[in-house]
Amino acid sequence: MSFLFLLAQSTPLSDGSPALPDLDTVPFTQIIQDGGWTMYILIGMSVLTTIMVFYYLMSLRFNVIVPQGFLFNAEEAATQGDAEALYEICRRSKSPGATILEPAARLISEHPEVDYAAVRDAVEDAGGRQANLLWQRIQYLMDIAVVAPMVGLFGTVLGMIEAFVSLKENFGSVKPIGLANGVSKALLTTAGGLVVGIVAMILFSYFRGRVTRVVARLEASCNHVLQHIFFHPKRMTDGLTNQTKAIDE
């Protein structure tokens, strides 16, 4: 919110009249106070944005979505064709990658003769739900980007109302201080709302690309494990054996 200091920068007037107070002489608290109570809402939204950014930087990483330890164990179980071990590995892990592979591993372990389309559908359904959860996380940044300018506009309206009320009450002898306070509040809240909204929009665009990359790697890793476990010779042999037993019976 340091942008608010720019609004108090001194600019000499062409007619030689005294300039506004210098930038260094205007405290930040005074700027917030002049902006009115809507500025506190914008500050709260900016703080919330900062917290979410740190949270997204820590959580929206591929190593968090699909931990390396889980991925290594899952690939090892898939390479060995052990669907039951893969299911246990997925069940013990709470990561989104494990949540995606768990239905497929359970389906293969319980029904070795299942076809690839059914297993792929199970993975796609679970993957779609996990991807939606990741997209939902960053949607809050977009909400702030939309709401912040509206809060600033609301403060602008309040400031203009205050300015015109002062003008109405002192119509015969206009007091510049009352008019200036209202206009100052309108400008400050407008600038505050725009800056918070623009920053939130930029951050949303960044994390949107980050989620896209994470989801793409997540899908590739899950498909890699799925193909190893499904087309493993051991599983194919077990499936044919079960089908033969069913025919004999």
- CA 128 remoteness from chain centre: 17
Q: Model-level pTM?
A: 0.73
Residue 24 lies in a domain: no
Query: How far apart are the C-alpha atoms of 216 and 221, rounded to whole Å?
Result: 9
Residue 23 lies in a domain: no
What is the extent of the structural domain holding 85? 34-55+65-235
Record the tokens describing residue 220, joined without a space.
């590739």
Instruction: Look at residue 20 in the predicted model and tell me its pLDDT.
Output: 43
Q: What is the pLDDT of residues 40-97, one digit of tens each?
A: 888 889 999 999 999 999 988 888 888 888 888 888 888 887 888 888 888 888 888 8
- Total domains, the chain: 1
Instruction: Look at residue 178 in the predicted model and tell me its pLDDT.
Output: 55
**Maximum average pLDDT range among 45-49, 158-162, 171-175, 222-226:** 45-49
Contacts of residues 160-169 at CB distance under 8 Å and 24 or more positions apart, as own/partner, are 160/186
Residue 82 lies in a domain: yes
Please compute the mean of the pLDDT values over residues 185-202 and round it to a whole number. 86
Query: How far apart are the C-alpha atoms of 61 and 74, rounded to whole Å?
Result: 19
| H or E segment to which residue 125 belongs | helix 116-169
Residue 41 lies in a domain: yes
Please compute the mean of the pLDDT values over residues 106-111 and round it to a whole number. 83
Residue 244 lies in a domain: no
Please compute the mean of the pLDDT values over residues 146-150 and round it to a whole number. 91
* pLDDT category of residue 243 using cuts at 50, 70 and 90: very low
Q: 191 and 3 in contact (C-beta within 8 Å)?
A: yes
Asked whether residue 24 carries a pLDDT value surpassing 60, the answer given is no
Residue 5 lies in a domain: no
Query: How far apart are the C-alpha atoms of 182 and 169, rounded to whole Å?
Result: 13
Q: 74 and 225 in contact (C-beta within 8 Å)?
A: yes
